[in-house]
């Protein structure tokens, strides 16, 4: 897809975004941020725009300002056909360990 006026399949792009996000790891926990449960929602428009709602493990997280920027830049750079990527940090619902996926729990040795 090199032309900007070409249509996209939002579900296919969402899958690509998830795969990209699974390459980004929390600096303090050896699990990617998707399996850690930090990604709450991913919306892809037919206009090639992505909106990600994510949270952090705590409001005073040391990467509170840098991690969302890194997520946005990584998605945008990995999927060049996107027109725009926006990452919104939300605090509701508050993150807790129950949000970690089974894969994440296995990586942490909790299953």
The topology (CATH level 3) of 10-97 is GMP Synthetase; Chain A, domain 3 (3.30.300)
Residue 6 has pLDDT above 80, yes or no: no
DSSP 30: S
Tokens for 51, please give them.
């909106």
Give the residue among 57, 43, 52, 51 at the shortest CA–CA distance from 100.
57
How far CA 91 is from CA of 53, 58, 64, in Å, comes to 10, 9, 12
Domain borders along the chain are 10-97
Residue 3 has pLDDT above 60, yes or no: no
Mind listing the pLDDT tens digit for each residue in 23-82? Answer: 999 888 899 999 999 999 999 998 999 999 999 998 888 888 899 999 999 999 999 999
């Amino acid at each position: 897809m090199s032309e900007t006026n070409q249509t996209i399949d939002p579900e296919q792009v969402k899958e690509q975004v998830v795969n990209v996000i699974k390459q980004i790891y929390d600096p303090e926990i050896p699990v990617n941020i998707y399996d850690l449960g930090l990604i709450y929602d991913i919306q892809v428009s037919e206009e090639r725009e992505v909106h990600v709602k994510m949270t952090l493990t705590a409001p005073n997280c040391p990467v509170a300002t840098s991690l969302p920027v890194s997520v946005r830049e990584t998605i945008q750079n990995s999927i060049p056909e996107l027109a725009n990527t926006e990452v919104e940090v939300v605090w509701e619902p508050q993150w807790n360990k129950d949000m970690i996926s089974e894969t994440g729990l296995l990586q942490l040795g909790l299953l």
